[in-house]
Amino acid sequence: MRLLVVSDTHGDWRSLAAVLRLLGRSVQALVHLGDGSGDVRSAISSGVPMPPAYSVRGNVDSDHSVPLLRCFDASGRLVIFAHGHRYPLGEGTSCLARAARDAGARAFFFGHTHVPHYEERGGVAILNPGSLSRPRGPWGPSFAIVEAPPSSSCLDVKLYELLGTPSAPRLRVIRL
């Protein structure tokens, strides 16, 4: 299973659509980690290839029908995801790893900080894809591709920076 993981599009559905034009047919699911979860609907209406989409509500999202927390089965691996604004991240990601372990999950995906981040903590993959519209830190707009091969218990995570224009997008791997 191959997942496209995005966050913090903040109304910039065109960047999301650009990524989906490039990768929408090659992924089995889109995971949107909030603050722009409605941008998925806008991207759909633009006619780009759209896999099944799973979203959570961020601190600036107003649609209360979108959940704050979700779980997803990625080829037999439970992934938990939330925007991240309700977790005390000031002391690092240990609270996310603990929440994942308590839920029996192998990974916790979060957004909110707008900074790409990936680590393995106590057997839990912790991923933040950054922001597709308002990046912070040394990288531009970013997202992640997560591969969950059925023959392995590991997740393969790659972070990408979106370059170019919405009509001519290019990708560059982010090395943390």
CATH (one of 3.60.21.10, 3.40.50.280, 2.170.190.11, 3.40.190.10) for 2-174: 3.60.21.10
Of 118, 108, 125, 115, give the one whose Cα is nearest residue 69: 108
Q: Is the pLDDT of residue 126 over 90?
A: yes
What confidence category does residue 88 fall into, taking pLDDT thresholds of 50, 70 and 90? confident
pLDDT at res. 90: 81
- Alpha-carbon distance 35 to 59, whole Å? 6
pLDDT at res. 153: 76
Average pLDDT along the chain = 93
Supply 111's token pair: 């957004």
Q: Is the pLDDT of residue 92 over 90?
A: no
Of 153 and 140, the one with more pLDDT: 140
What confidence category does residue 154 fall into, taking pLDDT thresholds of 50, 70 and 90? confident
- Whose tokens are 């970013």? That residue is 142
What confidence category does residue 38 fall into, taking pLDDT thresholds of 50, 70 and 90? confident
DSSP 8-state symbol, 102: H
What confidence category does residue 119 fall into, taking pLDDT thresholds of 50, 70 and 90? very high
The residues with which 78 forms a beta bridge, in sequence order, are 73
Of 6, 47, 13, give the one whose Cα is nearest residue 29: 6
Read off the pLDDT of each residue in 143-169 and give the average, rounded to a whole number. 90
**What is the number of H-type helices and E-type strands within the chain?**
3, 11
